[in-house]
Amino acid sequence: MYINGKGTAENTYDAIVIGSGISGGWAAKELCEKGLKTLVLERGRMVEHIKDYTTATMHPWEFKHRGAIPQKIKDENPVLSRCYAFNEATEQFFVKDKEHPYGQKKTFDWIRGYQVGGKSLMWARWTQRWSDLDFEANAKEGVAVDWPIRYKDIAPWYSYVEKFAGISGNKDGLSVIPDGEFLPPMEMNCLEKHVKEALKKQYNDRHLVISRTANLTTRHLGRGPCQYRSLCSRGCPFGGYFSSNSATLPAAEKTGNYTIRPFSVAQSIMYDENTGKATGVRVIDTNTKEVIEYYAKIIFVNASTLNSTLLLMNSKSDRFPNGMGNDSGELGHNLMDHNYNCKVEGEFEGFEDQYYSGRRPTGAYLARFRNFGNDKQSAFTRGYSYAGGGSRAPFSEVSETAVGEALKKDLTQLGPWKFGLSGMGECLPYHENQISLRTDKTDEWGMPLLEIDAEYKQNEVAMTTDMVQTAMEMLDKMKFKNITDKKEFRNFGLNIHEMGTARMGRDPKTSVLNGNNQVWGAENVFVTDGAAMTSSACQNPSLTYMALTARAADYAVNELKKMNL
Amino acid sequence: MKRKTFLNRLGLGAGGVVLLPSVSLLQSCSYEPKIRTALTQDDAVLLAEIGETIIPTSDAAPGAKATNIGAYMLLMYEDCMPAEEQEVLLSGINELDAQAVNLYSDSFLNIDAAQKLKLLETLQVEAEAHELQNENIADALPHYFGILKNLTVSGYFCSEIGMTQAQEYLPVPGKFEACIPYAKENKVWAL
């Protein structure tokens, strides 16, 4: 193995951030702004804001297959082809199955974005806060381990990241999704407003609000506003939504303290047995396969949930023979995703003379009501929310049977209003849901392949039944017609909310990270992406990663100043 | 004399009456239904004609043919269709070809618009029956007319004509208006 012989000084920074996605971008921004010379390692290629959004302004008819993915590519990428956001306009941002194989003991769809900006380019941008209902649940129920933090610990950091990211939303006063620092909300359409009121009349615990969303409703810190094209996942030439590329990385760059190194796979974190600290990161240049060592006082691991844990597992030393921070044996365990196996739709009679204009890049959000307040379910613990939305499209029963003029006419007029409800359920952290390193296979760069072994269990299955049934009941009560269960089924992983495997906790014997996201036993290493999650809640997780990252970066720099790291 | 001129014009010459049965024979022989083993560029014209019958030109906007629907269908067949569906479409096109000859003694391309529509309406009924029959069968293959109709609709409404003339296309809306009035004569937004 050839190790780059450049002087240690030349390869030394104050901080190294591994990964440039939604949490790595935040680590880079915070550390650079606090004056640390920071090296950001990204395994994929460079994607420059606007310049590299190659499909962003193309019309649908300008794509060879009008957006469809050719069958040959589907056949070569069975996993990726199941991802809702993968199409001819976005394929450049997704990892192809063959390029980065992994093992599956049970079916797991692992959707990845290896480039500067990571999945922050293609994310769905919904940003509900967590509440103490979520942070206290494990402790109250005796599930897994207790979160080492509560809402009050993270609330100021939610505010901090919301103010910079730019989150549109309404102050709804709901304790399950606490209000934040919002830009003006996007508006609900007439059917959504009707459903909101109808739910209020029929129930006392069902609240439909506009989803808090990282799309800018006003110009914000030189970005946006959103132009209502709803083509976000191609990258936005208007900077209309939050991504690392549009927001955090440019802010880091502005400080003069930022260095980014694309095509750099982190192979392992180096550890000094004498000081009990990490010394740096061993990197493989993906083009030259050269191995290079970089050194820093602190290291932020933001490689995305499974890759962050893979890196810790691959960072073995005498002190950590089973992977860095793995005194507890919990590293790799407690893998979660969300459970979106519920999609119900109904037709509404009325508002025939109402429509909307522009493509709103978000939807309505029906906040959690199960196992909250007076509600108590015996079949399952925790709860779910629904993504909801009213819409009208030009398709009616006529189109199903007509050919010729009648069909054309029907397809150029609006059909009835429809309202959809998609369940978003919490998943419990199970020790048995785990990832491990394969001993028989490595990738092109010598990294061991991951073996993933995870599944939904009894609690998730019982919750799915209730999600579907309750959605249908609600639509029925509100006099919807043709209510259909779309029988949504997604493999574990496909909701792209993989969480856990290096959980935070209060005790090094049962967790990998402490309450400040420090690795137990290697306190100058911080893991602040999805790997750190102790439970999954039912809210979309990215806002919480952002807040945890900014909080940990603040703590890290304070500790550095106090010479504690 | 008049009668002779008439027969000459028909190119039948004397004794034309005797030839009458063979006139229809002649017609049915003028087009042999093809047995294709794959859809090729040669079929683009036929596909375009089918598409135009499904979404015809009207006062409001050009029909599917103007959007090059034949080439689009062929491209989707070649690049974007699972092998089993390719089979269904291929044998379906052979069948449609033969059916035009059976019913109208000519190729689909040569029969008139009303005949084309009538034929496709028959296939539409067939496709509905097929769907009903397969309702509870997971992964049942679609009827070929269902494929043709879907391709026409998706191709037309993703085309520049379909999006900008049959519908209203706003590439950069710039704002979101949550509730606006709508009347049947208004165009719908292209998405």
CB contact under 8 A, A71 and B80: yes
* Lookup result for tokens 């449609």: B96
- Taking contacts as CB-CB distances below 8 angstroms, the residues of chain A near B179 are 189-190, 193, 354-356
Give, rounded to a whole angstrom, the gap between the first and last alpha carbons of chain A. Answer: 31
**Mean of per-residue pLDDT scores for chain A:** 97
Residue of B nearest to A66 (CA): B158
Report A:171-190 residues touching B (Cβ under 8 A): 186-190
* Min distance A22 CA to chain B CA atoms (Å): 26
Give, rounded to a whole angstrom, the gap between the first and last alpha carbons of chain B. Answer: 67
Closest alpha carbon to B165 in B44, B66, B53: B66
Report B:132-171 residues touching A (Cβ under 8 A): 149, 153-155, 157-160, 163, 166-167, 169-171
d(CA B30, CA B107): 9
A1, A291 in Cβ contact below 8 A? Answer: yes
Q: Any CB–CB contact under 8 A between A229 and chain B?
A: yes
Q: Take residue B80 and report the two structure tokens written for it.
A: 């974007």
pLDDT-based confidence at B29, cuts 50/70/90? Answer: low
d(CA A394, CA A400): 12
Residue A525 amino acid letter: V
Q: How many CB atoms lie within 10 A of CB A173?
A: 10
Looking at residue A397, what is its pLDDT?
85
Q: For chain A, what percent of residues have pLDDT higher than 70?
A: 99
CB contact under 8 A, A67 and B186: no
* 3 state SS of A507: coil
- Taking contacts as CB-CB distances below 8 angstroms, the residues of chain B near A190 are 178-179
CB contact under 8 A, B181 and A59: no
* Min distance B137 CA to chain A CA atoms (Å): 14
Residue of A nearest to B81 (CA): A71
Query: Could you tell me the residue ranges of all domains in chain B?
Result: 24-166
Looking at residue B14, what is its pLDDT?
38
- Taking contacts as CB-CB distances below 8 angstroms, the residues of chain B near A68 are 76, 80
A27, A553 in Cβ contact below 8 A? Answer: yes
Q: What is the mean pLDDT of residues A23-43?
A: 98
Write out the DSSP string of A398-451. Answer: HHHH--THHHHHHHTS---EEEEEEEEE-----TTSEEEEEEEEE-TTSPEEEE
- Taking contacts as CB-CB distances below 8 angstroms, the residues of chain B near A70 are 79-80
Assign domain A15-126+242-337+431-456+495-561 one CATH number from 3.20.20.70, 3.50.50.60, 1.10.10.60, 1.10.20.10: 3.50.50.60
Q: Any CB–CB contact under 8 A between B61 and chain A?
A: yes
Position B7 pLDDT exceeds 80: no
d(CA A412, CA B184): 9
- Provide the CA A493 distance to its chain's centre, in angstroms: 11
Q: Any CB–CB contact under 8 A between B183 and chain A?
A: yes
Ordered alpha helix ranges (H), A355-457: 397-401, 405-411
Residues in chain A: 565
Question: How confident is the model over B101-147, as pLDDT tens digits?
Answer: 999 999 999 999 999 999 999 999 999 999 999 988 988 999 999 99
* Lookup result for tokens 């030259």: A288
Q: What is the mean pLDDT of residues A414-432?
A: 97
Question: How confident is the model over B68-89, as pLDDT tens digits?
Answer: 999 999 999 999 999 999 999 9
Closest alpha carbon to A187 in B190, B180, B188, B181: B180
* B83 Cβ neighbours under 8 A, 6+ residues apart: A71
Best of B112, B149, B175, B176 to disrupt the A interface (most A CBs within 10 Å) is: B176
Looking at residue B30, what is its pLDDT?
76
A284, A442 in Cβ contact below 8 A? Answer: no
CB contact under 8 A, B82 and A71: yes
Q: Take residue A27 and report the two structure tokens written for it.
A: 């680590």
Sheet of A417-425, strand order: A208-210, A364-366, A384-392, A417-425, A343-348, A481-485
Q: Take residue A438 and report the two structure tokens written for it.
A: 């394969």
CB contact under 8 A, B120 and A70: no
Please tell me whether the interface predicted TM-score (ipTM) of this complex is above 0.90.
Answer: yes
